[in-house]
Amino acid sequence: MPIDPPATHVIYDMDGLLLDTERFYTEVTQEIVGRYGKTFDWSVKSNMVGRPAIESARYLVATLELPITAEDYLREREGMLEALMPTAEPMPGAVELTRALAARGVPQAVATSTGRRLFALKTQRHRDWFALFAAVVLGDDPRIGRGKPAPDIFLLAARELAADPASCVVLEDAPSGVAAARAAGMRVIAVPYPGMDAAKLADADVVLRSLTDVDPERLARGR
């Protein structure tokens, strides 16, 4: 894991990286598109993950030629997701890595396209864990002009941490997130969610199988 020099600050995506929520999006979306004889697989999903919800919804509707609007899809999806998100569990190695870095005094932030309501549901059983992050930037923050793959959310997270973007390392699972971190002038470790084609994350500095493969000693230096 050649991150040299080590980061002074670490920023994480959330869905599919810290929390195992991507499977909920897949299940719910397949249930919706299946009514129209369509299949939601990674050839479609890989172009949606990490992006703002409305952009992903428009892509889905256009690509699968659904007889509904993007707004219709999001409204139906929202209620179904609200029932599932409180059951979200951490991804392997997520708690251990973030706690190890916190113990070393490394400031950490979450930068997620998730909006405030779903974020609260996803993290309601993990509040103690998420309390260790020095900053959390959500997708519906009015200070964000453009969603991923634009760099806005990561640059805002760096400002919240009072960090130089060049000294930050981002951990991501989505192509749009890798592109956003690159555009922000940050280094990137990609950890593709199972099923994602790792080749789509080739622009990252490092591609790993799991957060359990991240060595906190080599990733960041404490204060």
Candidates 156, 199, 159, 195; CA nearest to 178 is 199
| Separation between Cα atoms, residue 87 and residue 100, nearest integer Å | 24
Asked if 128 is an active-site residue, the reply is no
In the chain, what is the straight-line distance between the N-terminal and C-terminal CA atoms, in Å?
A: 21
Q: Phi/psi at 101 (nearest 5 deg)?
A: -70, -40
In the set 4, 13, 128, 213, the catalytic residue is: 13
Distance CA(184)–CA(149), nearest Å, equals 10
Active site residue 72: no
Contact between 168 and 8 under an 8 Å Cβ cutoff? The reply is yes
Cis bond upstream, residue 216 (ω within 30): no
- Rounded to the nearest 10 degrees, what angle do helices 53-63 and 70-84 cross at? 120
Q: Around Cβ 60, how many Cβ atoms within 10 Å?
A: 24
Token pair listed for 210 = 């799991």
What is the set of active-site residues? 13, 15
